[in-house]
């Protein structure tokens, strides 16, 4: 990766994107073969995915409070030179959407939208699937296995929670976030494509179904639609903002440190790719 720039192409070259895409295709195809497995897949996916909004909010705060680390070399007055909050704002852009999608007057968090998808699916499937007659059976099916709990902890760690507020830790977390946005853009698109192809009737039901979460009604399929590249492409948009933020983070740090900091960013990106692979390897296990 070039020391002087951060690009989508350079990041994609760090991992085998084709292999990751095949893994997502295989996982969703396996899940769609059985309604109970489909429900468990989406339950686990909403669990894992639901932590990234809080992760990027923590990252934006981590960057923002690090005033002494991000300094404008063209500003000689020390009190006017810190650019940490400015840099952090490009990451907070993703957190803003995660905590309120702004597509309605309601407080539509992406977590609530994900829960609406899961609840809508439960309401459609519960009457005809064994073991889902009451909440005890549902809770058993959707319980988080140990491997998923461990991955969820790794999300917080990937976003820098518990690490030092220093440049190496921040750039590692930036790389982790870039990985999450880049890979999630394709994974949501694949899930959307697969559902529309193999379960078109279900998708239509979810598009027509309104579900109440936290006292507000949500379209049950909206969460998948806005993240897919065939809909709102939220993840792609967040990736572009995060890339700008990463470039600015370099601009406001000493040039002599750029090589080491880009290496940390690369390590963070690869760390997410490893977590991504582990999730889709294990998501359909009993």
pLDDT given at position 11 = 86
Over its C-alpha atoms, the chain yields an Rg (Å, rounded) of 20
**CA atoms within 13 A of residue 69's CA, in its CB half-sphere:** 24
Q: Are 253 and 168 in contact (CB under 8 A)?
A: no
Using CB atoms within 10 Å of the CB of residue 134, give its burial: 0 to 12 exposed, 13 to 18 middle, 19+ buried.
Answer: exposed
Whole-angstrom Cα distance, residue 221 to residue 216?
15
Convert the pLDDT of each residue in 12-39 to its tens digit. Answer: 889 898 899 999 999 999 999 998 999 9
Joined together, the tokens standing for residue 197 give 């192809």
Convert the pLDDT of each residue in 162-174 to its tens digit. Answer: 999 999 999 999 9
Q: Per-10-residue mean pLDDT for the chain, 286 residues long?
A: 68 88 95 92 96 95 97 96 97 87 75 94 81 82 96 97 97 96 86 94 95 92 83 64 93 96 96 96 94
What's the gap between Cα 86 and its chain centre? 22
């Amino acid at each position: 990766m070039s020391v002087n720039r951060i690009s989508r192409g350079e990041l994609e070259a760090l991992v085998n994107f084709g292999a990751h895409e095949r893994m997502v295709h295989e996982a969703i195809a396996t899940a769609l073969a059985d309604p109970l497995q489909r429900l468990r897949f989406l339950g686990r996916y909403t669990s894992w995915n639901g932590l990234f909004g809080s992760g990027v909010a923590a990252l934006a705060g981590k960057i923002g409070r690090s005033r002494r680390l991000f300094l404008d070399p063209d500003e000689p007055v020390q009190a006017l030179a810190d650019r940490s909050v400015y840099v952090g704002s490009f990451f907070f852009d993703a957190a803003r959407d995660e905590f309120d999608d702004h597509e309605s007057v309601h407080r539509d968090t992406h977590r609530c939208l994900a829960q609406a998808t899961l609840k809508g699916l439960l309401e459609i499937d519960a009457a005809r699937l064994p073991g889902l007659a009451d909440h005890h059976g549902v809770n058993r099916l959707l319980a988080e296995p140990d491997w998923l709990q461990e991955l969820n902890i790794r999300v917080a760690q990937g976003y820098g929670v518990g690490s030092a507020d220093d440049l190496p830790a921040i750039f590692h977390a930036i790389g982790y976030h870039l990985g999450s946005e880049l890979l999630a853009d394709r994974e949501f698109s694949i899930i959307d494509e697969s559902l529309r192809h193999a379960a078109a009737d279900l998708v239509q039901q979810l598009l027509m179904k309104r579900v109440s979460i936290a006292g507000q009604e949500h379209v049950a399929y909206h969460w998948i639609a806005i993240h897919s590249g065939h809909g709102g492409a939220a993840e792609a948009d967040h990736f572009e903002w995060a890339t700008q933020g990463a470039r600015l983070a370099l601009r406001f740090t000493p040039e002599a440190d750029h090589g080491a900091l880009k290496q940390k960013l690369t390590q963070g990106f690869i760390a997410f790719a490893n977590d991504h692979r582990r999730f889709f390897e294990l998501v359909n296990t009993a």
